[in-house]
Amino acid sequence: MNKELMEALEILEREKEISKDTLFEAIENSLITAYRNHYGKADNVKVEIDRETCDYYCYAEKEVVEEVEDPVMQISPEDAQEIDPAAKVGDIVRVEIRSKEFGRIATQNAKSVILQKIREEERSVIYNQYFEKEKDVVTGIVQRYMGKNISINLGKADAILNENEQVKTEHFRPTERIKVYILEVRNTPKGPRILVSRTHPELVKRLFESEVTEIKDGTVEIMSIAREAGSRTKLAVRSNNPNVDAVGACVGINGARVNSIVDELCGEKIDIVNWDENPGNLIQNALSPAKIVAVFADPDEKTAKVVVPDYQLSLAIGKEGQNARLAARLTGYKIDIKSETQAKDAPGFRYEDYVYDDEEYDEEGYDEEYGEEAYTEESSDEAYEQEEAVEEDGAEA
């Protein structure tokens, strides 16, 4: 029994997760390659390896002929009968090949074949391992900066955090541990190329799934998410169990669950609101923490008009329109926000137009999928400028 070869194969299988069968095939192919390099061709060469003992037998199948024209493929009756006394012209006999007879160059080539196969299988194993984790969150260690990109070590492979997938306000130091979202795993000749992100909305979703047990088991469901990386994220959740509060489950006791995610995102603010099948209620929740007077939503046009108290206009719009923009992405509606004063002064304004009927929307239904460009800032910017003008006029008076 070839104990040294068996031990080497077991080590490779354990450390690099390469199966023994693959390694046995590599050895067989390497011996055939060595024979081809030594004799010029190997069409009639066979290699058999005992999987239990690692003993191998290499032989060439040669035809018995009266006159030998090709010694690689043919054998004379006299030589054939030394191997098999019953051999006669036209038979095929097996001639054992001793690998020790191969030249130095042929042996070196055989070694290269085995090493190349091991490298290919190692890359394939790593690719398959991380391909299964695509669209998921993993923990990595910051290695170094490569220009504006960052190299992240994920264990058996390195990932690249491109500049456009980095949060502008985040700065990492080498050896720092961070969580990243695997965008894509590509199989290249030099090994798997893994692209990761810190800005993708799914990063927040996966963090909540790992932190909140109720989301993992399906009791609480994340219905929609809108994110401006590094600044604020809005999350709409609903509970499939009437005894479980969806928002409370995500927040945790004293905010323990959401705070751990906020820390991982380097202080990014997270708003968690209840999902509602009624678009008016959903828009009202999405504009939280602003208080809403009335909402008129058009499910067909995917637009909504919102009236807020005069003193709540700035809060509803948010800094640079952020609150309204995220609410629009979360709900899928283009939202036009006006203060009560602006709404009453608008031509053709009727207050009852802003009151929505729950039964009407329950019958019509609406599309839950939200768009990327749901919010246009013209209405909110105009309202914001008008409010500033009113404040300036009051100051001058």
Looking at the chain, the number of H-run helices and the number of E-run strands are 14, 15
pLDDT of residue 40: 74
Nearest alpha-carbon partner for 167 in 150, 183, 184, 153 = 150
pLDDT of residue 332: 93
pLDDT of residue 353: 54
pLDDT of residue 351: 55
The per-residue pLDDT for range 43-76, each reduced to its tens digit, is 788 888 888 887 777 888 888 888 888 888 888 8
Structure tokens at 336: 């036009």
Report the C-alpha gap between 346 and 343 in whole angstroms: 5
**Residue 381 vs residues 28, 39, 376: alpha-carbon distances, Å:** 73, 82, 9
pLDDT of residue 50: 81
CA dihedral angle for residue 24, residue 30, residue 33, residue 34, rounded to 10 degrees: -130
**Residue 26 vs residues 19, 43, 99: alpha-carbon distances, Å:** 11, 17, 15
Domains of the chain listed by start with CATH number: 3-125 (3.30.1480.10), 134-197 (2.40.50.140), 200-275 (3.30.300.20), 279-397 (3.30.300.20)
pLDDT of residue 78: 86
Q: List, for the chain, all residue ranges whose pLDDT scores fall below the cut of 50.
A: 1, 355-397
pLDDT of residue 31: 81
